[in-house]
Amino acid sequence: MAQGASLKAEGVTAGVPDLFVPAWGLWVEMKRSTGGTVSPAQRDWIAYLEGIGHQVIIGRGFEDAKRQIEGVKKPTG
């Protein structure tokens, strides 16, 4: 609870993915390799972000996230 209060005091919004790569419009939600679940607030944020044209991946552990990030279609320009 203390960590949650600290994050709230810093302005962190519940459900927003963990990482953002602005140049790619890519958001990454990190979960444990096994057992991690996406909360309803996270589902809402993911739907919103995809609705405005951003990409969102859910990485189930570091290796899975790395593999998915490497496969992301990056914008050209």
Residue 29 to residue 42: CA distance in whole angstroms: 9
Domains of the chain: 14-70 (3.40.1350.10)
Residues 6+ apart with CB under 8 A from 64: 33
Q: What is the pLDDT of residue 77?
A: 63
Q: What is the pLDDT of residue 4?
A: 66
Average confidence (pLDDT) per 10 residues, the chain, 77 residues = 71 89 96 92 96 96 95 78
Can you give the pTM of this predicted structure? 0.81
